[in-house]
Amino acid sequence: MRSSKLIRFPTLFQKHHQAIPSMSSPTPTVVIIGAGFAGMWAALSAARKREIAGRPDSSVEIILIAPEPILYIRPRLYENDVSEASAPLADLLAAAGVRYIQGLVQKITVKEKIVGYTSADGNSSTLPYDRLILASGSTLFRPEAVEGLAEYSFDADQMEGALKLDAHLKSLASQPESPARNTVVICGGGFTGAEIAAEMPRRLRGILGESVDVRVVVLERAGSLDFMGPHSSPVVKEALASLGVEILTSQTVAAIDAEGINTTSGTRIASKTVIWTAGMRASALTAQIPTERDELGRLFVTQNLQVCGVDHVYATGDTAHIAADDEGHLTLMSCQHAVNLGKSAGNNVMADLLGLPQAPYSQPYYGTCLSLGPWGALFTTGWDRKVSLVKEEGYKLKTQINTQLIYPPPPNRAAAFTAADPAQQLIA
């Protein structure tokens, strides 16, 4: 589950800087790349560690660099209305003593400990660091082998894509009625594909008219739609079937054009709306760190989030390959894991610079809440995803997760967040 819930700090950032003398000059610098869940929480956790260690802000500078000081709630981009799927970060970062730089990082020079970026005005600049936290997230995987994918498909991976999709769907109402106009094809039967598919029938009818015969098709490359495992996949299939969503398995996309989609098996579906959801890859910046990566492009890290073989670089969120528990379950590219991965990285980087003990990352609890449109939602617990809540009860929980974004501009460092569960407590 990609959780959009931000949690409140307990009492922190209380002034007790006199307890420990400040560090010697020059000022060590922590640079955090990315303003997603992992990057935001890494910055706040590092600031908190600095604060409770009794260090003044001037002892260690914390810099977060990202194109915008905004947290985009990616878990909500499947929704019909994404107007509330973002939150401003500038006031929060400033209150925590974190410096924000607007820029797009394009180069990491590990040997010299320098980050190169393009600023908002288009100029190239560099930023030196003592410790680097790579929290640049992930992007939708778009294989070059699929002809027409870039030109003719849509997605809901980032806010820009979600808004483009929404504008396209609304434009269909002005087009002549046809099977292609009334059909949406979702490529990929995973979490995102299922959530988009479940919303699409009523979304289309809201645009085209309740009496219009709409068609929503999910194409899945695997032989069955079982991404939720044996306990929960039957529930997902039941929910999608009740909404009129078709599922075609063992289908590999070959080409997409303005009027439809072709698969390698010879299937042709007429559609003016093809939505790509087939997998994620870690940020391309991981390739600039000279060490091993996994098949998703994630960097191998220690349980302290330190990149293996590069002692001054930490990776977190979707850029890190790490076990979530002692049983070896790997973290997923999800906000559920990114939140605590970010906290761990920020805590440990600051502890590293201050010469304090680090805390190994661990997140043994795992739960999934899948939105399934008008049917409701499915909440599961454990890595085997056993069914816990369904339909209306599941929907209540999903709504709580997606909407309890308590984000007032903090007046001071006492601004805090209320923890939703013990697994999301900040690292001390």
Report the distance separating Cα 151 and Cα 54, nearest Å.
Answer: 54
Fold of 149-278: FAD/NAD(P)-binding domain (3.50.50)
Please tell me the predicted confidence (pLDDT) of residue 26. 85
Please tell me the predicted confidence (pLDDT) of residue 156. 97
**Binned average pLDDT, 10 residues per bin, the chain of 428 residues:** 37 35 66 97 97 94 98 94 93 96 98 96 96 98 96 97 98 97 97 97 97 97 94 97 97 97 97 96 98 98 98 97 96 94 97 96 94 96 95 92 53 34 33
Question: Same CATH topology for 17-140+281-364+405-424 and 149-278?
Answer: yes
Report the Cα 390 to chain-centroid distance in Å: 24
Longest Cα–Cα distance of the chain, Å, equals 73
Please tell me the predicted confidence (pLDDT) of residue 9. 36
Pairing outcome for strands 124-128 and 114-119:
antiparallel
Query: What does the block give as tokens for 90?
Result: 């500038």
Please tell me the predicted confidence (pLDDT) of residue 425. 37
CATH number of 17-140+281-364+405-424: 3.50.50.60
Instruction: Please provide residue 27's backbone torsions phi and psi, each rounded to the nearest 5 degrees.
Output: -70, 125
Determine how many CB atoms are found less than 10 A away from the CB of residue 369.
Answer: 23
Please tell me the predicted confidence (pLDDT) of residue 295. 97
Residue type, 402: N
Please tell me the predicted confidence (pLDDT) of residue 411. 39
Q: Taking a C-beta distance cutoff of 8 angstroms, is the pair 369, 390 a contact?
A: no
Residue ranges of the domains in the chain? 17-140+281-364+405-424, 149-278
Please tell me the predicted confidence (pLDDT) of residue 400. 86
| Residues in a beta bridge with 282 | 138
Closest CA to 182 of 213, 219, 136: 213
Rounded (5°) CA angle 228-340-17: 170
Query: What does the block give as tokens for 397?
Result: 């929980």
Please tell me the predicted confidence (pLDDT) of residue 426. 34
